[in-house]
A = this chain, B = another copy of it.
Amino acid sequence: MKKASLKDIAQQAGVSTALVSYVLNGKEKETRVGEVIAQKIRQIAKELNYQPNHLAKSLRSGKTYTIGLIIADISNPFFANIARVVEDEAKKNGYTVIIGSCDEHAEKSWDLLNVLINRQVDGFIIVSCEGSENQVHYLKERNIPFVLLDRHFPEIQTDFVATNNYKASYDAGVHLIQSGYSKIGIMAYKSNMYHMEERVRGYKHALRDNHIEFHDSWLKEVHFETMDSEVRTAIDEILASEQRVDAMIFATYGLAINALKYINELRLKVPSDLAIVSYGQAEVFDLYYCPITYVQQPLEMLGKTAVEFLLTKLKNPEESMKQILMEAKLIARESSKAKPALTG
């Protein structure tokens, strides 16, 4: 049994497709469709279980009610969760989401962008990866609506919804200091992405403001692709250095996971051998023998707001630029608990 079209209904009712369209779109009043025929049309539509063809609608209207969500790394549970939020929120508003992960590769991101543009998505929500500035410029030029999520480029004027990473790292640093740690390292991605730089900057300023001198050996930057091995080397180095750290901040979930695996292998005890604060959030952090202190980003709000921004922009393209930085919350757990005073 093939799908019924407007034409099928029109034929059965003995009227033109126009009337059917009017009735089924609730425009019978404005377009003065007779009450009797309207009833009949509705009846037949029901009998044939009519479902409008979205393609045809979209082709005609130029709107697909679809948004493209490009995520830098879907294997990160933080992003996976944010994707869910975006999907749910979009669905509530009658939009469908097509998700793609570029796995931190600008090239893959570019491909995704093109595929989705050809599929005529109405707009984009994007968690940008390094080197994708040109893509953002392209969207601006082409006048395709989009909102950057979680990461943005301060030198490009765009809508965005992100976390105040500077503040989050600053808080994390202060927390560790107040807990009695004074030699604090940080591990981040080697990247010139703004959000990553901010995470490092906040940490450094926390040290500075508490009169702790920062040592270059405390900052470890590793490449995303070769994280597995580089994290190990980095940990080795940071522990072997003269200024051996007693606490570390991990700027991403992936770094923390890899580091924790290695720390376990080394039989280092958290927090006595090494205190830890990490970005990201996941069940692992709860179930680790020593629950991990983490930076809780307002995941739900980030996702919802991004959708909201995009949808208002779709409704009114002239809408002014919207930019928001949301505050993260440090969830203190055992992995950073106060150091027993040495003089105790």
Q: List the interface of chain A (C-beta within 8 A of B).
A: 1, 51-56, 58-59, 64, 66, 74-75, 77, 80-81, 84, 87, 96-101, 114-115, 117-120, 141-143, 257, 260-261, 264, 282-284, 286-289
Q: 25 pairs across A/B with beta carbons < 8 Å? A: A1-B143, A51-B118, A52-B118, A54-B119, A54-B120, A55-B55, A55-B58, A74-B80, A75-B84, A77-B77, A80-B80, A84-B101, A87-B99, A96-B98, A96-B115, A96-B119, A97-B98, A99-B99, A260-B287, A261-B286, A282-B283, A283-B284, A284-B287, A288-B289, A289-B289
Which of A54, A97, A143 gathers the greatest number of chain B CB atoms within 10 Å? A54
- Check A55/B51 contact, CB under 8 A, given A1-B142, A286-B261: no
B residues near A287, Cβ cutoff 8 Å? 257, 260-261, 264, 284, 287-288
B75 and A64 within 8 A (CB): no
B residues near A64, Cβ cutoff 8 Å? 55
Instruction: With both chains docked as a complex, state the minimum distance between the C-beta of A327 and any C-beta of chain B, in angstroms.
Output: 25
Instruction: With both chains docked as a complex, state the minimum distance between the C-beta of A305 and any C-beta of chain B, in angstroms.
Output: 21
| Bound Cα distance from A260 to B285, whole angstroms | 13
B residues near A117, Cβ cutoff 8 Å? 51
B residues near A119, Cβ cutoff 8 Å? 54-55, 66, 96
B residues near A100, Cβ cutoff 8 Å? 87
| Bound Cα distance from A284 to B287, whole angstroms | 7
B residues near A283, Cβ cutoff 8 Å? 257, 282, 284
Q: Please, which residue of chain B has its CB at the minimum distance from the CB of A120?
A: B55
Instruction: With both chains docked as a complex, state the minimum distance between the C-beta of A85 and any C-beta of chain B, in angstroms.
Output: 12
Which of A74, A117, A264, A287 gathers the greatest number of chain B CB atoms within 10 Å? A287
B residues near A120, Cβ cutoff 8 Å? 53-55
Which of A114, A141, A257 gathers the greatest number of chain B CB atoms within 10 Å? A257
B residues near A96, Cβ cutoff 8 Å? 98, 115, 119
B residues near A118, Cβ cutoff 8 Å? 51-54
| Bound Cα distance from A289 to B265, whole angstroms | 11
- Apart from A53-B59, A288-B289, list 6 A-B contacts with CB within 8 A: A1-B141, A54-B118, A55-B55, A74-B84, A87-B100, A96-B115
| Bound Cα distance from A87 to B87, whole angstroms | 16
Instruction: With both chains docked as a complex, state the minimum distance between the C-beta of A281 and any C-beta of chain B, in angstroms.
Output: 13
| Bound Cα distance from A261 to B291, whole angstroms | 11
B51 and A59 within 8 A (CB): no
Instruction: With both chains docked as a complex, state the minimum distance between the C-beta of A62 and any C-beta of chain B, in angstroms.
Output: 9
| Bound Cα distance from A96 to B120, whole angstroms | 13
Q: Please, which residue of chain B has its CB at the minimum distance from the CB of A253?
A: B283
B residues near A143, Cβ cutoff 8 Å? 1
| Bound Cα distance from A101 to B83, whole angstroms | 11
B98 and A98 within 8 A (CB): yes
